[in-house]
Amino acid sequence: MPSNKLSRTNEDIRLVMSELLREVKDPRIHQGLISITSVSVTGDLKYCKIYLSVLGLTDEREFKRGIKSAAGWLRRELGHRLSLRNTPELTFILDHSIEEGAHISRLISELDIPEEDDDDEESDT
C-alpha cells in the first residue's frame, strides 16, 4: 500500500499528465479518447509507470511510437510543473480495460432477456 505522500504524488502526476497529453502536437497520439487509468511511482521517485487507455485507437503501434517520442518533452514539462526532488523516468503502458468494459457492456445490452412481470408474482400470493 503506497504511503499518503506517494499516493498524492501519483494523483498529482496523473492530473498534470492529463493536461500535458492534450498539449502534445504529435498526430500519432491523438487517435481517440485518452484516459489515464493509473499512475504508479516508485518510492525513490525515479521511475513512473503511466497506464493509458485509448478509446477508439486505430493504430496501436503508431500510438506507442508517438508517445515514446514525446516522453522526453512530457518528462521535462512534468518537472517544470511539479516541484519534485527527482523527475521520474516515464514509462507508458497501454491499458485495454476501458475498451473491454465497453465491449462487455455492449454484449450485455444486446442480450435478449425477457423482463419478469411483477404483476404475475403478486397474483400468486
47 assigned to some structural domain: yes
pLDDT tens-digit map of 78-110 = 999 988 778 899 999 988 877 788 888 888 888
Task: Please check whether residue 63 is in contact with residue 31, taking contact to mean a CB–CB distance below 8 angstroms.
Answer: yes
Q: What residue numbers bound the domain in which 41 lies?
A: 4-112
Residue 107 within a domain: yes
> Concatenated DSSP letters for 20-35?
HHHH---TTT-SSEEE
| Domain presence at residue 61 | yes
User: pTM to 2 decimals?
Assistant: 0.76
CATH number at residue 59: 3.30.300.20
Tens of pLDDT, residue by residue over 16-74, are: 999 999 999 888 888 888 889 999 999 888 999 999 988 877 888 898 999 999 999 99
pLDDT at position 125 over 80: no
Largest CA distance in the chain: 71
Residue 118 lies in a domain: no
> Which is higher by pLDDT, 122 or 97?
97
Report yes or no on 104 lying in a domain.
Answer: yes
- What single string gives the DSSP state of each residue in 46-90? SEEEEEEEEET-S-HHHHHHHHHHHHHHHHHHHHHHS--SSPPEE
Cell numbers 491523438: residue: 30
Evaluate whether residue 46 is within a structural domain: yes
Number of compact structural domains in the chain: 1
